[in-house]
Amino acid sequence: MSFPIFQVDAFTHIPYRGNPAAVVVLDKMQPDEWLQKVAAEMNLSETAFVAPNIDPFKRVWQLRWFTPKAEVELCGHATLATAQVMFSEGFAKPQETIRFDTLSNELQASKDSGGWIELNFPTSKIQTTDPNPELMSALGIENSNLHKAVFDQDFDYIVELADEKAVKKLQPDFAALSKLDCRAITVTAKADENSEGNPDFVSRVFVPRLGINEDPVTGSAHCYLSDLWAKKLGKSEFRAHQISERGGTLKVKLLGDRTSIAGRAVIILKGKLLK
């Protein structure tokens, strides 16, 4: 048994930046235990597994995402990485809209002439929530505007800070963050006027509960940041920058109950998974 495997840097066109993901192309979806072992072996924030749909008459691909510790319901950068592999390696035609069957229902990916791949995800609406002293203490900040993005089985905290500088200088206590009853913590602020790439807003995302202290670039977080910043800036299209050490750039468009997220990606490794 062997399968093609790739490592892809997503939300960047520059190798060794953006968010790396592994992509495994299967002939059919494999057992959960094996998928989890492969993801742990790859030891990246996410490994994506893509396989033809069970129904051969439907041009839809099964897509699942695993961290080294658990399966997740939605992963933007690993979806982008998967689409890049499928377009560049001939699994999809250049003008095709790829359809993925996932735990977040059907997702789609298409590629424009400039090499940007546009993904279409469900919008995660935000809601304000009560102060959380443990969260603020773990982030090392005073009280800030706090929101939640609620999913079927979990939620993310969104912490709004005063400016980009405040986001950059955070030094979280990851052990304390990992004890919080949430999936992830996203901190965000309006971008400075002289910010690189002229984004509208910036963010950082921490996911220590799933074994990822800081995620380099998080597509799924922008499914609720689109809702937050649409309300604050009074528009629906944004350029966003995630200011992790590796960094990444996204084009984000709020489409009501859907959010379009576009990015570029580069394959840096190809091989065969032998076991």
Is 106 labeled as catalytic in the residue annotation? no
Catalytic residue among 33, 41, 46, 196: 46
Assign 81 to helix, strand or coil.
Answer: helix
Per residue in 80-107, pLDDT tens?
999 999 999 999 998 899 999 999 889 9
CA distance linking residue 26 with residue 232, whole number of Å: 43
- Token pair 């649409």 in the structure block, residue: 230
Same fold, 3-121+262-273 and 126-256: yes
End-to-end CA distance of the chain: 6
Structural domain spans, the chain: 3-121+262-273, 126-256
> Residue 150 has what pLDDT?
86
- Token pair 């930046």 in the structure block, residue: 17
Nearest to 249 by CA among 75, 10, 23, 80: 10
> Residue 56 has what pLDDT?
63
Instruction: Return per-residue pLDDT of the chain as tens, 275 residues.
Output: 799 999 999 999 999 999 999 999 999 999 999 999 999 999 998 999 999 987 766 679 999 999 998 999 889 999 999 999 999 999 999 889 999 999 988 999 999 988 899 999 889 889 989 889 999 999 999 878 899 998 877 899 999 999 999 999 999 999 999 999 998 999 999 999 888 779 999 999 999 988 889 999 999 899 999 999 999 999 999 999 999 999 999 999 999 999 999 999 999 999 999 98
Range 3-121+262-273 classified under CATH 3.10.310.10: yes
Q: Which helix (H) or strand (E) holds 238?
A: strand 237-242
Nearest to 250 by CA among 209, 273, 218: 218
Beta strand 126-128 with 71-72: parallel, antiparallel or unpaired? unpaired
Nearest to 242 by CA among 18, 47, 15, 8: 18
- The neighbouring-strand residues paired with 10 are 19, 265
> Residue 259 has what pLDDT?
94
CATH of domain 126-256: 3.10.310.10
